[in-house]
Structure 1
Amino acid sequence: LYQLLRDDPFLIRPLILSFGASTYLSETLIRKPEYFYDIIDADVMQTQKTSEIMYQELAQSISRFASVEQKLRILRRYKRRETLRIGLRDLLKIADVETTTLELSNLAEAALQHCYEIGRDQVMKPKYGTPLNEEGDAPCRFAIIGMGKLGGYELNFSSDIDLIFVYSDDARTDTGNENTEYFARLCEFLIKAMSEITSDGYVFRVDIRLRPESSAGVIIRSMESYESYYEGWGDLWERQALIKARPVAGDMAFGEEFIRMIQPFVYQRYLDGVTLTEIKADIRRTKARIEERLVNEGANLERHVKLGPGGIRDIEFTVQCLQMIHGAKRKSLCSHNTLEAITALKENTLLDAEDADALAAAYRFLRTVENCIQIEADQQRYAIPEGETEARELARRVGYPHTSETDALETFRADYRRHTEQVRAIFRKITTTSIESADGLDIGILLSEEDSQQLETFLSTFRFENAREAQRLLKQLANGSDGIQFSPNVRRTFFKLAPTLLNVLRDSPNPDMALRYLSAFTDKVGARSSYYTMFAEKPSTLEVLTRVCGTSLYLADMLIASPELFDLLTVPTLVERSKTLTEKQEEALQIVAEAPSGRMLSMLRRYKNDEIWRIALRNILGNATLPTTTEELSDLAEAALQAIYPEIE
């Protein structure tokens, strides 16, 4: 070795860089000294590998072995060997950050395809057979969908790979097992085989939390099940996550069918003002929650390259916000890759040239920093070290020279601060909206507003005394409560209704009480989509309901206890005129005569409550004077007594 380095001193740099810049790469070389010949081979170090090349190299090595464990060992060792090559190409600046993240993504794809084939042929088939389609005349199709950084060809050195799994038919295998069970077992094998840490390391950690219902959801669904879920329950965060979805293993053609199926959900062609605002508000709200969680965990936000203010996530969220808004009508925006999407947004003038260039430069810089943090020990770290020595070492890994004239750490910190400040300013510009926009009330912003003073100032115009409680109840009407989340359709319907609702609440005698009882009423009756639609189409009904709920605790409690009383609000003729004593007597006698044995009193009570509700409504709506109201109540009592008296033994 010494002789080789003496004769070819240019080989010293990659060796010293490996040992000096990364504990992980150093340990790889020490464990496998034969890898040294890879890093001094110009052909190896200058070659950018596709996933197809990596797949073929793996196939050649795996074909020499028979057992599952031996083949998985080859996958782990190949991953470590390729990470050494890719890492040194990055540190030596042979490859830029786009090439580095692309090669890491290609490595994950090739390993995942082999892992799938091993599981399908050697683990599943002997035990469960081959899954078939519904007709039983062809195999059931299966695809692995890459999400997140894998989907965007943007993996870094210690990334998890985000995956979801899909199959075509809810049928059976050729041995009679349910396809759902077969694919669930296959997915469990894939996750364990890829993630398990052994003496040879691991392949890639797998994260499946981006599937429907996240950690609470099933591990795999059929295509039909995905379509049904996204149509009925898919949320904004899922639309955002699916921007990066692409097939990475399994039946790639079937995976493309899955991508075509989700496109109308991800990129919705018709977006009203409410939906546009909801997208921006949801993204800004999500980012705020992330930063709040980090602070609660004791993290230093300013040093967090990925999730801190102006970090990588700010860039991704900015880009994805614009993609969701404009992607349906501009297909060039529908890219999985962040840098490609930034270029497309610039070309479509949806980002100022200056902002687009700033985002692209910051993204390359921050991803380089992230890679250099993680390559040191192959750990999921995202924070710039607090210690000056460690931070200076990071700056040197990133490529900042330290000379007598320039301090690497100071220059690095200045560039980091400049990039993150620019990114945060652009993120705010793209995602910020106002409660009162040019188009009127912005309910999405109202529900997410955290500034108590601004919230109180706005809601006080609707005569609410407790602004924070009013916001909570409005959120409950829009989103659900007690662990029940309404579908996006229900939320959209409420958002359209909200301006009308706030106006009628303002006109009710007590807006706070009216909103409280309205929320209780909708909780009791359910079917919110139908009620919200009816209120939007018949605002007069909503106006009467809020007037009742804001006027009388007694009547509001009656309504909550007996929601069927609401029907009287939908038939105006019932409260247009008063009833005579004779009419009430006839109605009460008929109830007593027709009542089944043992139910006479309960039916008479029901009649009394209906009539009290009707009489009170006439008074509240101004259809009856006080003398008329008291006369009707007296007649009701007399009619009830006369009807029941003959039945008293």
Structure 2
Amino acid sequence: MSKTENGDKWFGKPAAALKPLDADNAASELADLAELAEERGLKRLAKLAEGGSPLSSFLAAVFDLSPFLRDCARRHPDALEALFDAPVQARLDALVEDIAGVGLRDDQTEAGLMQRLRALKGEAHFLIALADLAGEADAATTVRRLSRLADASVSTAVAFLLRDAHRTGKLVLPDPAEPGKGSGWIVLGMGKLGAHELNFSSDIDLIVFYDPHAPAVTDPLEATELFSRLTRRLVRILQDRTEHGYVFRTDLRLRPDPGSTPLAIPVEAALNYYEGRGQNWERAAMIKARPVAGDLKAGEAFLRELTPYVWRKYMDFAAIADVHSIKRQIHAHKGHGEVAVKGHNVKLGRGGIREIEFFVQTQQLIAGGRFHELRGRETVAMLGELAARGWINEEARDALAAQYWFLRDVEHAIQMVADEQTHNLPEDDEGIERIAHMLGFENADAFATAFRASLHLVEKHYAALFETAPQLSRGVGNLVFTGDVDDPGTLQTLHELGFSRPSDICRVIRTWHFGRYRATQSAEARERLTELTPALLETFGRTRRADEALLRFDEFLSGLPAGIQLFSLLQTNPALLDLIATIMGAAPRLAAIITRRAHVFDGLLDPGLMSELPNKAYLAARLDAFLQGAELHEERLDRLRIFAAEQKFLIGVRLLTGAIDAVRAGKAFSDLADLTIGAALDAVKAEFALRHGQVAGGQVAILGMGKLGSRELTAGSDVDLILLYDHEEGADESDGEKGLAPSHYYARLTQRLIAAVSAPTAEGVLYELDLRLRPSGNKGPVATHIESFRKYQREEAWTWEHMALTRARPVAGDEAFCQAVEAEVADVLARPHDAAKVLKDAAEMRTTIAQEKPPRDIWDLKLIAGGQIDLEFIAQCARLTGNIEPERWPPTSTGDALARLSPGFCEAQARDELLAAYSLYLTLTQIIRLCLTGPFEPDDVPPGLADLLLRSTDLPDLGVLEAHIRDTAKGVESHFDALVRKKR
């Protein structure tokens, strides 16, 4: 066999010696390849696959280690045969050239394009992986090859679509042989594609713009629809999975305001957006932006227009604030124990790829405006430039560059196993051993040692980078707010303090100083405020979205009846000023409360606020004092609303500052609901009795359900209730002036209670009520006799109703009757339940919920697969099937139930993982519901809220947190399958 035939020229040098996990399986896979090659007439490959050479041993190991590459070889053995005629680099060049020509064929159809693209990309993808594993290509070469492959694929698809639009008269291309030229269709590659740094199973981030005045555009008014339709087709061509696979998964979510903008955006609208509303993360994203297809000249012109937006002339204090907020998380991780190898996220985890990328990008944002050398797209090249400019030392540059490429190698190995878009190392020993062998390590231990050392080295330099990076002194300079004209020095000072709209801030502060609010009408108040202003601006400037926070404070100030006390207090209490800034910057929901109802602020003046736990006894004493002297019915109800609003706010502030944790907050919110709803019930009963009297022997109990019953209420929760009653057997009518039959009496009483608690008034609502969990739901009476309840629960209730009952507890009413109701609930739950039916019904119910109420996104923590519902169902099923370890009181809290899952039902490790998930979800839910009135939008989260979430979970950035949620949900879903669906 000649040198060419034995394959030495495949990679230009001998392939790396990889060890298979299973030598017998490797030999079997090679034999299968030999047989397949013989069938296809691929003589040289068949000969090679008979074994006996280093190259055949390499192939056998690859097929054993990577099911994906094994399957590629089975589908396309001719790709290997072709390497006998041309080495891998030449073959890749030919494939890219073929891809580029596919879109320019006159007879090309969309279906034909999709099929041909998938075939060519599949072969190139396969060869890039082989070359990487063989050692022919290092990580830097591999990412370049992958990016070049993506460029060619996108470009040829765009060329095809432009020519198709030209053929149908939608566009008139100046030169159909070069369809992109003058077309006005701008396709920017973002992220790793823009930086030529794609990973093996990467999706590609694209942003699409168009110029409506380009020569090819025939009707500017129709251009948005035309280019959006072309973009939609582009995505389909690239990412739809067919029997031939896919080309690249494609993500368009980096475009401006993706929830409300078309897929293709006019250039002028995009420029207006970035200049007027663009956020810091979007500036960072634009660092890597690169025209990859379509009208490349127009794309370059667009990026030149964006230069002042991305590269600020002055040191960027908003970016510095970003760095400082993340820095706290870094210090939380420094020396934080051993780094786990199994399951570690190579991209987002401690010491991972993102830490290197993040530092480079933030330093570019800060200094790239002055130093053009720092405007490059590639991470390692920019490490070199940072060292050249003195931002980091040479040791850091060399160490981070080396570890970056090592971690990219690990990332590629992970993805080459099954072509999955994951960055997590396997959770099992065999999986780690597989990755070790793919990377050329002797065994898993050797790899784990090198991997930990790499992560620790990155972590060390990452933390040190923030300590050694050039810092700025930003003392307060000019602050002049007299007259009607902005002082230039003041505008500069405000910019340096972190405000992005200094002129607007000047206007707001002039409003204060001109005495246009009641709180600033007195000369003394304005004098105190003038003295306070520098500290106030510095404090709000640190909130990162300083302008928004200060404008919320302005709204608050405009509603205050007086200001001297507040201004004096803030002058002498910097911690309180920090707290207000935190509320205004991190918690729009609390800011809205404090703005609409300034009286809730009074509670912050209590010096014992943070030191006293808001338990039931504390709240009850406060409520009794607050209700003193309120004799009239409506006055008592209004005081209840005021008290509840203030205490919800103060519980929230304690949670916000870390004075209490999420579990304690849930109990405090629930205790507050118990007390205030109970007081409302007492007031309504007394008022109702004035006209309708009493029913003989009448008793009432309110059964708290859902999160109230489990004492897990959040700041924004509504309240699930069932009202139960009893009376003497012979009672037929109440004894009042207008007597009512008992059923009618208690129905009317309940309706009055609902109105008292949930009807909107000048003081707001006490709680939104939900009574749908009562027997027969909305079809049943709003009040239920205890006998009807007993009979229904024993004879008619569905499994889901008994599941809901596991969280029930009496929260208000006549004490003796509440005890009887509690005993009744316990008796119903203690009755024998068919375990198989309970689990089957619960599994079916979970499936139905998933179909009818799919989660919005991963932050929909209740509805995601593996989310809060799964945890609640596990706890409820365990309670109904007798799989809770006995204690004196059965648990209503999901957390308590999970902690007491019996060993026969759930192994200790699984129980611990479920508890950890419960704690994570509860913490995030409490904070998000406290701070926001609507859903959590990860692309537009208030930076202060992001800091709170990261501080509460001890994670470095939202990307890591989101990855942690996904991993946690995946684990919970697996446990749900094992425990409830009985799939193992």
8 Å contact from structure 1 (residues 153, 337) kept in 2: yes
8 Å contact from structure 1 (residues 283, 431) kept in 2: no
Aligned twin of 1:103: 145
Mapped partners of 1:59, 1:23: distance in 2: 29
Aligned twin of 2:164: 122
Out of 235, 245, 257, the residue aligned to residue 213 of structure 1 is 257
Aligned twin of 2:78: 34
Aligned twin of 2:564: 547
Measured at CA, do residues 230 and 3 of structure 1 come closer, stay the same or move farther in structure 2, by a change above 3 Å? closer
Measured at CA, do residues 107 and 83 of structure 1 come closer, stay the same or move farther in structure 2, by a change above 3 Å? same
Q: 2:260 matched to 1:260?
A: no
The DSSP-based 3-state class of the residue aligned with 2:315 is coil
8 Å contact from structure 1 (residues 234, 488) kept in 2: no
Aligned twin of 1:165: 208
Measured at CA, do residues 547 and 66 of structure 1 come closer, stay the same or move farther in structure 2, by a change above 3 Å? same
The DSSP-based 3-state class of the residue aligned with 2:86 is helix
8 Å contact from structure 2 (residues 190, 286) kept in 1: yes
Out of 288, 300, 323, the residue aligned to residue 244 of structure 1 is 288
Aligned twin of 1:74: 116
Aligned twin of 1:143: 186
AA aligned opposite 2:193: L
Aligned twin of 1:89: 131
Cα deviation, residue 300, structure 1: 8.9
Measured at CA, do residues 252 and 545 of structure 1 come closer, stay the same or move farther in structure 2, by a change above 3 Å? farther
Matches for 1:490-639 after TM superposition, within 5 Å: 490=501, 546-547=563-564
How far does the alpha carbon of each residue in 1:7-39 deviate from its partner, in whole angstroms, 9 at most, with x for none? 98344144324312321111111112222213x
Measured at CA, do residues 89 and 140 of structure 1 come closer, stay the same or move farther in structure 2, by a change above 3 Å? closer
Aligned twin of 2:223: 179
AA aligned opposite 1:225: A
Cα deviation, residue 64, structure 1: 8.7
Cα deviation, residue 548, structure 1: 7.3
Mapped partners of 2:341, 2:53: distance in 1: 42
Mapped partners of 1:283, 1:235: distance in 2: 17
8 Å contact from structure 1 (residues 359, 423) kept in 2: yes
8 Å contact from structure 2 (residues 132, 138) kept in 1: yes
How far does the alpha carbon of each residue in 1:89-109 deviate from its partner, in whole angstroms, 9 at most, with x for none? 000010000000000000001
Aligned twin of 1:417: 452
Measured at CA, do residues 14 and 84 of structure 1 come closer, stay the same or move farther in structure 2, by a change above 3 Å? farther
Aligned twin of 1:333: 374
Mapped partners of 2:457, 2:55: distance in 1: 40
8 Å contact from structure 1 (residues 301, 307) kept in 2: no
Mapped partners of 1:12, 1:200: distance in 2: 27
AA aligned opposite 1:270: Y
How far does the alpha carbon of each residue in 1:159-186 deviate from its partner, in whole angstroms, 9 at most, with x for none? 0100001111269953686111111111
The DSSP-based 3-state class of the residue aligned with 1:489 is coil
Cα deviation, residue 246, structure 1: 0.6
How far does the alpha carbon of each residue in 1:228-270 deviate from its partner, in whole angstroms, 9 at most, with x for none? 1111111110011111001111111111111211222111111
8 Å contact from structure 2 (residues 202, 421) kept in 1: yes
Aligned twin of 1:152: 195
* Greater Cα offset, 154-163 or 259-268: 259-268
AA aligned opposite 2:500: N
8 Å contact from structure 1 (residues 24, 377) kept in 2: yes
How far does the alpha carbon of each residue in 1:253-310 deviate from its partner, in whole angstroms, 9 at most, with x for none? 11111121122211111126x4353241365589999x9xxxxxxx999711010011
Measured at CA, do residues 241 and 176 of structure 1 come closer, stay the same or move farther in structure 2, by a change above 3 Å? closer
Consecutive unaligned residues in structure 2, runs of 5 or more: 1-33, 35-45, 175-180, 334-339, 477-493, 514-524, 541-546, 570-594, 597-984
Aligned twin of 1:347: 388
Aligned twin of 1:489: 500
8 Å contact from structure 2 (residues 348, 355) kept in 1: yes
Cα deviation, residue 426, structure 1: 2.6
Aligned twin of 2:354: 313
Cα deviation, residue 217, structure 1: 3.3
Out of 220, 225, 234, the residue aligned to residue 269 of structure 2 is 225
Measured at CA, do residues 429 and 319 of structure 1 come closer, stay the same or move farther in structure 2, by a change above 3 Å? same
Q: 2:242 matched to 1:201?
A: no
Instruction: Output the aligned Cα RMSD.
Output: 4.5
AA aligned opposite 2:426: P
8 Å contact from structure 1 (residues 283, 321) kept in 2: no
Mapped partners of 1:341, 1:129: distance in 2: 40
Mapped partners of 2:80, 2:198: distance in 1: 25
Normalised by the length of structure 2, the TM-score is 0.42
Mapped partners of 2:506, 2:472: distance in 1: 15
Matches for 1:273-312 after TM superposition, within 5 Å: 274-281=317-324, 303-312=344-353
Mapped partners of 2:67, 2:156: distance in 1: 29
How far does the alpha carbon of each residue in 1:491-533 deviate from its partner, in whole angstroms, 9 at most, with x for none? 89769999x99xx999579x9xxx9xxx9xxxxxxxx79x97x
How far does the alpha carbon of each residue in 1:565-611 deviate from its partner, in whole angstroms, 9 at most, with x for none? xxxxxxxxxxxxxxxxxxxxxxxxxxxxxxxxxxxxxxxxxxxxxxx
Flag the structure with more relative contact order, 1 or 2, with Cα contacts below 8 A and sequence separation at least 6: 1
Measured at CA, do residues 351 and 387 of structure 1 come closer, stay the same or move farther in structure 2, by a change above 3 Å? same
Mapped partners of 1:345, 1:88: distance in 2: 34
Measured at CA, do residues 342 and 394 of structure 1 come closer, stay the same or move farther in structure 2, by a change above 3 Å? same
Measured at CA, do residues 110 and 491 of structure 1 come closer, stay the same or move farther in structure 2, by a change above 3 Å? farther
Mapped partners of 2:160, 2:562: distance in 1: 64
Measured at CA, do residues 25 and 433 of structure 1 come closer, stay the same or move farther in structure 2, by a change above 3 Å? same
The DSSP-based 3-state class of the residue aligned with 1:303 is coil
How many residue pairs get aligned? The number is: 466
How far does the alpha carbon of each residue in 1:382-421 deviate from its partner, in whole angstroms, 9 at most, with x for none? 1111211110110110121x2xxxxx21221122112212
Matches for 1:432-471 after TM superposition, within 5 Å: 439=474
Measured at CA, do residues 492 and 288 of structure 1 come closer, stay the same or move farther in structure 2, by a change above 3 Å? farther
Measured at CA, do residues 492 and 355 of structure 1 come closer, stay the same or move farther in structure 2, by a change above 3 Å? farther
Aligned twin of 2:97: 56
Aligned twin of 1:361: 402
The DSSP-based 3-state class of the residue aligned with 2:205 is strand
Mapped partners of 1:357, 1:7: distance in 2: 41
Consecutive unaligned residues in structure 1, runs of 5 or more: 133-137, 292-298, 403-407, 442-477, 479-486, 520-527, 536-540, 553-559, 562-649
Mapped partners of 2:189, 2:321: distance in 1: 26
Mapped partners of 1:154, 1:338: distance in 2: 9
Cα deviation, residue 47, structure 1: 3.7
Mapped partners of 1:288, 1:368: distance in 2: 27
Aligned twin of 1:466: none
Cα deviation, residue 323, structure 1: 0.9
* Identity between Structure 1 and Structure 2 (%): 30
The DSSP-based 3-state class of the residue aligned with 1:376 is helix
Aligned twin of 2:762: none
The DSSP-based 3-state class of the residue aligned with 2:500 is helix
8 Å contact from structure 1 (residues 281, 433) kept in 2: no
Measured at CA, do residues 547 and 327 of structure 1 come closer, stay the same or move farther in structure 2, by a change above 3 Å? same
